[in-house]
Amino acid sequence: MSKDRYGCTNGQKDLRIAHLDDGVCANSKTISRSELETRVLDAIPARLLSVGSTTSLQDEINKQLTATTKTGERDQEKLKSHLSEVSRK
């Protein structure tokens, strides 16, 4: 569109779109760069700090910690077994 506005350029440039049966995009809406930046920056903290996303993040961290602990315990058992074998020789 321009350096200060965003929008679909397919309609403006009359570019054909395969999934529209080679039609042209009819969307003529545009948004100013400052408006888009404001919307994106306003949405980031709201999405990152929402209860759902923090709960989801906490669940993922707990899964990773559990998996790491189990792996560490298995590795520790393998090392003990290997140490026992080496000590017997």
* Angstrom distances, CA of residue 29 to CA of 4, 34, 76: 14, 15, 61
Assigned token pair, 59: 């669940």
Whether the per-residue pLDDT at 32 is higher than 90: the answer is yes
Identity of the highest mean pLDDT range in 9-18, 48-57, 61-70: 61-70
* Nearest of 65, 1, 53 to residue 27 by alpha carbon: 1
Output DSSP code: residue 13: T
Are 31 and 7 spatial neighbours (Cβ–Cβ below 8 Å)? yes
Identity of the highest mean pLDDT range in 8-22, 31-45, 65-79: 31-45
Neighbours of 64 (CB within 10 A): 10
Mean pLDDT of 12-36: 78
pTM over 0.75: no
